[in-house]
Amino acid sequence: MSHWNLTDYELFWFTLLILTLLVGLAHIACYFALSRAERTSNKSRRAFLLRTQRHLSAFWWVFIVSALVSIFGTVGSLIVCAVISFLGLREFITLTPVKIGDHRALFFAFFVFIPLQYILIGMGQFGFFTVLIPVYAFLLLPVLSVVRQDIDKFLSRKASLQWGLMIAVYCLSHTVAILHTESVADFSTQRKALLLLFFLTLVRSAMLWQHMADYFFRKREGRIAALIHSRMTWPGLYVSAAANALIASSFFWFTPFTFWQAAIAGALISFAAVFGRLVMRGITYSLGVKDWGELTGGQQGVMDRLDAILYAAPIFFHYAQFVTARS
């Protein structure tokens, strides 16, 4: 039994309902504020509210994914995450240089290392899953290409593929890996879905608070990386971390964390999410595009939607492993 004498099943759906109502009300408030900004021709405020709507819309995907995990269990979450990794890696490779000598390495990346990564997670082989890509894939993929004797821009081609695997597969896989650790072995499926909801909501919350704080600090100095993201500020990051720490500590009771451990987790997620977005944007700029979705008619790509999660997931996973092992 959980808080307020609710079962885990009731607690999950009750929490999801409350979050849905809160985001729904925020959407409505944003809609009316946007209508007012359009009447007053306030372009700066209108742009801010449009971006706010996009940040709020991202929460719906969080709720849908968490609900699917609650319904179909952790095996379903592994399959979904593996498919997303496949699509993300495909998007990454599409923007990077590839030659015929890379075809064998690409086959292993997509059809060997992606399935094997998620199979190892499902089997609870965490010692192996944490080194499969950064060690074994890192060493094997160049071998598969070098035997083809295609050495034109060999280093940049291999580095791009290795980075793609690290980001789209290795980092993303930690999102579901936390659901298969010993620290949550006694958790029901709904309790695990709550933990996933906790993490993903904090990621989106971090970006929302960062966005709102950046608007209010926009006239001050302190841009984090102005050439990459002109709006992100250090004060905004501190506000985001503080707000996330407060939110996380408020819901520590359905996680494996204590009050202060949850607060630290919330702050860490904020820092990781913000820097993850900056790094991913830096990669796209280096490839000559603004967004990963430019090849899909200007719509947001898979990697655009995941950028904040990619750095936060492994940080959250290892933090959870560390604090629960010491408890």
Is the distance from CB of 142 to CB of 153 less than 8 angstroms? no
User: Could you report the per-residue pLDDT of 162-174, keeping only the tens digit for each?
Assistant: 999 999 999 999 9
Which range among 101-110, 132-141, 216-225, 312-321 shows the weakest confidence by mean pLDDT? 216-225
Domain that holds residue 109: 3-326
User: Could you report the per-residue pLDDT of 69-85, keeping only the tens digit for each?
Assistant: 999 888 888 999 999 99
Write out the H or E segment, with its range, that includes residue 47.
helix 43-94
Q: How many independent structural domains does the chain possess?
A: 1
Q: What is the pTM of this model?
A: 0.92
Contacts of residue 293, Cβ cutoff 8 Å, sequence gap at least 6:
299, 300, 301, 304
Please check the confidence at residue 2 and state whether its pLDDT lies above 50.
Answer: no
Convert 54-93 to b/e letters by CB count within 10 Å (16 or more is b): ebbebbeebbebbbebbeeebeebbeebbebbbebbebbb
Please check the confidence at residue 222 and state whether its pLDDT lies above 90.
Answer: no
Residue 1: per-residue pLDDT: 43
Indicate the DSSP class of residue 169: I
Residue range 50-64: mean pLDDT, rounded: 93
Give me the chain's average pLDDT, please: 89
Residue 42: per-residue pLDDT: 74
